[in-house]
Amino acid sequence: MKQYDKNSLIGFVLMAVILIVFNTFFFPEVPQEQALTTTPTEAVISETQIAETVIDAPIIPTLNDSIVSEELQATYGIFAAAAIGEDEFQIIENDKLKITVANKGGRITSVILKEYQTFDSLALDLFDADSSRFNLQFTTGHNINTTDLYFVSEQRNNTLSMKLKADDSHYVEYLYTVTDDYLIDFDINFVGMESIIPSGVNYMNLEWQMKTPQTEKSKTNQDMYTGLQYQYSSDNEVDYLSFTSTDDDKINARLNWVAFKQQFFSAIFIAKDGFDKPTYLTSTKSEGSKFIKDLAAKFELPYSHKRDEQLSFQFYFGPNHYKTLESYNSGFEELVPLGWGIFGWVNQYIIINLFDFLSKYFSSYGIIILLLTLIIKLGLSPFTYKAFLSQAKMKVLKPEIDKITEKNKGKDQMKTQQETMALYRKAGVNPMGGCLPMLFQFPILIAMFRFFPASIELRQESFLWADDLSAYDSIYNLGFEIPFYGDHISLFTLLMTISTLLYTRMNSSMATGQMAQMKWMMYLMPIMFLGFFNNYAAGLSYYYFLANMFTFTQQYFMKRLIDEDAILAQLEANKKKPAKPKSKFQKKLEDMQKKQEQQLKKRK
What are the angstrom distances between the C-alpha of 337 and each of 132, 229, 392, 587? 25, 11, 39, 42
Are 415 and 461 within one domain?
Answer: yes
Identify the pLDDT of residue 565: 64
The answer to whether 239 and 339 are in contact (CB under 8 A) is no
Q: Say if residues 72 and 148 touch (Cβ distance below 8 Å).
A: no
Across the strands, what pairs with 173?
163, 189
Task: Identify whether residues 349 and 271 lie together within a single domain.
Answer: no
For 135-148, the DSSP string reads EEEEESSSEEEGGG
* Same domain membership, residue 159 and residue 264: yes
Q: Are 369 and 233 members of one domain?
A: no
* Cβ-Cβ contacts under 8 Å for 433 (sequence gap 6 or more): 386, 387, 389, 390, 393
Rounded to an integer, the average pLDDT of 286-300 is: 90
pLDDT tens per residue across span 30-44:
333 333 333 333 333
Asked whether residue 75 is assigned to any structural domain, the reply reads: no
Q: Is 358 exposed, middle or buried (0-12, 13-18, 19+ CB in 10 A)?
A: middle
| Domain final position from 336, 361, 382 | 336
Residue 329 and residue 352 in one domain? no
466 is a domain residue: yes
Asked whether residue 394 falls in the same domain as residue 304, the answer is no
Least confident of 2-11, 78-87, 595-604: 2-11
Judgement on whether residues 177 and 222 belong to the same structural domain of the protein: yes
Residue 51 in any domain: the answer is no
Q: Tell me the C-alpha distance between 52 and 50, whole Å.
A: 5
> Which among 336, 352, 380 is the end of a domain?
336
pLDDT score of 43: 35
Residue ending a domain, choose from 291, 320, 336: 336
Is pLDDT above 70 for 125?
yes
Q: Does some domain include residue 571?
A: yes
User: pLDDT, tens digit, for every residue of 183-221?
Assistant: 999 999 999 998 899 988 889 999 999 999 999 988 888
d(CA 302, CA 299): 10
Q: Which of the two residues, 126 and 419, has the higher pLDDT score?
A: 126
Q: 99: phi > 0 → left, psi -120 to 50 → alpha, else beta; which?
A: beta
What are the angstrom distances between the C-alpha of 524 and each of 4, 65, 116, 391, 548? 118, 77, 40, 22, 17
Least confident of 304-308, 479-483, 495-499: 479-483
- Note the pLDDT tens digit of each residue in 492-514: 999 998 888 887 777 665 555 45
| Confidence at residue 510, expressed as pLDDT on a 0 to 100 scale | 52
pLDDT band at 22 (very low <50, low <70, confident <90, very high): very low
| Structure confidence at residue 564 as a pLDDT band (50, 70, 90) | low
Query: Are 209 and 292 within one domain?
Result: yes
What are the tens digits of pLDDT across the range 144-169? 999 999 999 999 888 999 999 988 89
Whether 25 shows a pLDDT value over 80: the answer reads no
Choice between 114 and 407, residue whose per-residue pLDDT is larger: 114
292 and 164 within one domain: yes
State the average pLDDT over residues 339-357: 89
- Residue 44 in domain: no
In terms of domains, do 190 and 266 share one? Answer: yes
- CATH code for position 162: 2.70.98.90
DSSP H helices, 362-432, are: 365-379, 381-407, 413-427
Packing angle, helices 352-359 and 365-379, rounded to 10: 130
pLDDT for 435-462, tens place per residue?
Answer: 666 677 788 888 888 898 889 999 989 9
- Specify the number of domains making up the chain: 2
pLDDT band at 128 (very low <50, low <70, confident <90, very high): confident
Residue 249 reports pLDDT greater than 90: yes
In a domain, 170, yes or no: yes
CA-CA distance, 488 to 471, in Å (whole number)?
A: 13
- In this structure, are 184 and 142 located in the same domain? yes
Question: Has residue 57 been placed in a domain?
Answer: no
Q: Which residue segment(s) compose the domain that 263 sits in?
A: 82-336
Query: Does 46 have pLDDT greater than 80?
Result: no
Whether residue 508 lies inside any domain: the answer is no
| 163, 213: one domain | yes
What DSSP string describes 567-594?
Answer: HHHHHHHHHHSPPPPPPHHHHHHHHHHH
